[in-house]
Chains A and B, each alone.
Chain A
Amino acid sequence: MLPEFLTRLRFFISRKRPVDLDDELQFHLDQSTQTNIAAGMTPDEARRQAGIAFGGVERTREQCYEQRPGRLLEAVLQDIRYALRWLGRNPIFTTAVITTLALGIGATTAVFSVVDSVLLRPLPYPNSERIVRIWNTFPPRGMTEIPLSEPEFLEYRQSQSFAHVAGFSLGTVTLMGTGDPLRLVASWGTSEFFSVLGTQPILGRIFSAQEQPTGHNHVVVLSYKLWQNQFSSNPEIVGSSVLLNGDSCVVVGVMPSNFKFPSEDVDVWQPLPISPASSNLGNHYLHLVGDLKQQATLDHARAEMKTILVRIEEKYPSYYNGAAGIGVGLIPLREQMTGNVRATLLVLMGAVCFMLLIACTNVSNLLLAKAENRKKEMATRTALGASRWRIIRQVLIENLLLFLASGTMGLLLAFFCLKMPPLGDSLNVAQFGGVALNLRILAFAAIVCLFTGLLFGLVPALKASHSDFNDTLKTSGRNSMESRHGTRNRSLLVITEIAFSLVLLAGAGLMIGSLVRLLGVTLGFDPKNVVTMRLSLPEARYPLGRTATFYKQLQEQVRSLPGVEAVAIVNQLPLSDASANSSFDVEGRAAGTYINVADSQIISPDYFRAMGIPLVRGRLLSEADTRPAPISVMVNQTLARKVWPGENPIGKRIRFRSDAPWLSVIGVVTDIKNHGSNVATKPEVYFLHTDQPSGLWADFRSMTLIVRTGAEPQQTVGAIRGGLKNLDPDLPLYKVQTLDQIVSASVSQTRFPALVLSLFAGLALLLAAVGVYGVLAYTVEQSKHEIGVRMALGAPRAQILRLFLGQGVKWAMLGGGAGLLAAFILARFMRSMLFEVGPYDPRIFGSGAAMLTVVVLMACYLPALRATKIDPMAAVRSE
């Protein structure tokens, strides 16, 4: 094989001289002539006979030449040159095709790259496919992801299905000694934490099991980002000390840049010490993650964890009394991370495929029309001896060139789309390692390109090669005898386009409907002119006794600033992901876990005024309630309704732990959408921020400052920073956001798909309109003669107009019908993305169909109008 290839390569590079072949054939002829002369013929007759015996010299020469290696390549290059010339001579056609396809391919590639990074590419952890998140669940209250307590973790850790089970929590620390104090996101993990994920540090080591009992203050592992930004990628960093929350910690390692667990913004990891004797059942702060052993399945692990949970319940009967129905939930890491983004992405992927199909249909239409116009050219070529395969190849090469050019443009388009920040932000792709154009995506784009090029280019190519050249050449000029078949093909393409557009319109409509409902939700608070910012007091400098004083001083400082109307603090802002639910007992009723559960908010007295939350009953908390001990709380309407239906809640008492004091309800406030516009309000209890223990597990050091101002709130941020500097120059302020921004961000999960789907639907509608216009205009052009005859026979113009508009109506009805059917079938996949809108909302489907019909008729109107303007005399005479 190899020598043969080398020989062919040699001949490919150095050609034989054409003269050689001529001489060789001439020699043959001469020999033949000689033989004939020897047989007794005259020289002339001998030469004639030799020529007859030989046959076509030219044909033989060509056949010899065709044996040449690389002959096919040469022919293809020739075809490409010809195709480029032809495309250059038809700039409008070329631009139309490339723009349409580039849009389709670009959008498809962009969406696919997000799908690739979020759903397809393995997570950047060695064990990623076997990593599972572990939660408690409590279906009776609809709670699916309850963090665990230390005693629960200690039991779950003994599972045989998992190689390791680790607990971790998230929080913030302040880095000092490197310029301005910097707030860092910290994750505290038990000793198994890094083993579960299986990632090795790029520098130093991870923390060891021995470091666990000594507490988390002494060693730290840095994220790549922090190491790069704050320590200028210093390779000698391991072993040096940094100041975290005022404590000196030894840096033991640096993680690689793609290690972003448990969230993409983690800056440091520290050990989380958990005493094996811990009996703190009430504090559910631990998040659990484990890696399944090779031979263990998720179902086995589930069954085993369930038995462990039973063991835990038996061990602490008084705590779990009333928690009947508690369960354990195992969720594979990727599923946990993708959550409802998965549905959104799949819907977008489907939508973009529809759009690509519409784009391809349009292009196919254009190519078909073009093929019709080139019939004569092709017939001439066939008459001159071009084989059918040769013609097909020519057209295919033209089409592939078009699709390749479009593909390249599309890739560029996708690249720029992905650079736009809204895409990454709304889908939270950073935690999957971000979106990047990789080889797989290039391959995807290439396949899409070739596939569409072949599929939609082949039909026109076959059609072009199929023509009977005799007929075509004879019908000079006029080609109105277009087959019924061709018309039907084109109508079918248009109907398909209309159907696909309607599916996209319906999808976009459903999302927009949801978004409108979502934006219309009464939040329960007034987000105008409120700025919020977070700060965390380091434990070392702020023991519990000092935090309340500090926050009080801070609020007084800010309150005195000009333009400030109200100032308050809260531990969790509304619409943030965090939720801290705790069980509580009601005085005079049976005690037990999970009978009554409420979210707890820690606030300062002015919270309701600063947020604009109205009081419904009783009175507001005041400074006076903080001393001598916190004995008063406020609740929201949902809690009051659930716990004391039909009763006056004022004066009733609750407590959060059996060893904590009873707390009186002194007021009821309006429900607010604390967990997002699309989440039902949960029972809430409001506590005053104090330095007295209240039986609540909460971080009293990290608080959000809420400042309501008379005008644009951003302007006061500088003054607030100044006020804080006076109190403590080493405290960083972070997450400075207005409430409006927070509200706006909270609907991005709906707004983003609504936006993208609307964009796709708009483009699809435009493409469909162009398609309808093109096909009808073509039909009008082809039937000029017929129209002329009709008009000459007395058909009024209105009838001609009706004839062509009727064609549009027929298309709209057929396409719309098919589209509605498809939309009904597909809409259920969007169910999880919708809010207060049914997937089969008849009004949305109806308005989509109506809009489509109007657009189709508008697209039909121009060509139809042109048909009525035809001069019958000219049309009939132009024969």
Chain B
Amino acid sequence: MPPSTDLLQGTLDLLILKTLALEPMHGWGIANRIQQVSKDALQIGQGSLYPALHRLEYKGWIKAEWAGSENNRRAKFYSLTRTGKKQLEAELSKWDRLTTAITLVLEQA
């Protein structure tokens, strides 16, 4: 098993939103994309991925549509809604603040 990093609470939402900001994607694609981009450091278990997707959908941040996939199978594609885009901005700046603060503490203390 490749090394995996425990995700910070709430970070998964941010990762999903960021990934979907590029293009609509299905669940499998999202998990793969995150894994690839993080160079296998982040592996999203489906046990947390799908509940998170549904939660975001219920919140209205992302929406789902059935469409044909690469290999011509019907798959559920998720894409950002307008609220989702705004939310992504907000989450990103929140993340920036948090990491800056943590970095400061780690350097100074």
Contacts and interface: CB of A to CB of B under 8 A. Distances in A.
A151 B57 CA distance: 85
B85 interface: no
A42 interface: no
A4 B73 contact: no
Contact of B51 (A6, A27, A66): A66
A275 interface: no
A625 B46 CA distance: 115
Nearest to B51: A63
Given A68-B58, A69-B58, A20 B47 contact: no
Interface stretch (A52-60, A729-737, A869-877): A52-60
Contacts of B76: 20, 23-24, 27
Interface in B19-63: 26-28, 45-47, 50-51, 54-55, 57-60
Contact of B27 (A24, A59, A63): A24
Contacts of B60: 3-4, 6-8
B74 interface: yes
Interface in A1-34: 3-4, 6-8, 11, 20-21, 23-25, 27-28, 30-32, 34
The B contact surface, by secondary structure, is helix
Chain B, interface size: which category?
A: 20 to 34
Contacts of A92: none
A67 interface: yes
A835 B58 CA distance: 71
A8 B47 contact: no
B47 A60 contact: yes
A63 B52 CA distance: 9
A810 B64 CA distance: 71
Contact of B75 (A11, A27, A54, A60): A27
Given A23-B76, A32-B28, A59-B47, A4 B83 contact: yes
B45 to A, nearest CB: 7
A6 B71 CA distance: 36
B45 A27 contact: no
Interface of A: 3-4, 6-8, 11, 20-21, 23-25, 27-28, 30-32, 34, 54-56, 59-60, 63-64, 66-69
The A contact surface, by secondary structure, is helix
A24 B50 contact: yes
A66 B26 CA distance: 21
A367 to B, nearest CB: 37
Most chain A Cβ neighbours within 10 Å, of B45, B46, B55, B60: B46
B54 to A, nearest CB: 4
Contacts of A63: 47, 50-51
B58 A8 contact: yes
Given A6-B60, A21-B50, A60-B50, 16 more contacts: A7-B59, A23-B76, A24-B50, A24-B75, A25-B46, A25-B50, A27-B28, A27-B69, A28-B46, A55-B45, A56-B47, A63-B50, A63-B51, A64-B51, A67-B55, A68-B58
Nearest to A30: B73
B58 A28 contact: no
Contacts of B57: 11
25 contacts: A4-B60, A4-B83, A7-B58, A8-B60, A11-B57, A20-B76, A25-B46, A27-B27, A27-B28, A27-B74, A27-B76, A28-B27, A28-B46, A31-B28, A54-B46, A55-B45, A59-B47, A60-B50, A63-B47, A63-B50, A64-B51, A67-B51, A67-B54, A67-B58, A69-B58
Most chain B Cβ neighbours within 10 Å, of A23, A30, A55, A63: A63
Interface string B57-100: 11110000000010101111000000100000000000000000
Contacts of A4: 59-60, 83
A158 B78 CA distance: 84
B46 A55 contact: yes
A298 B81 CA distance: 67
Contacts of B28: 27-28, 31-32
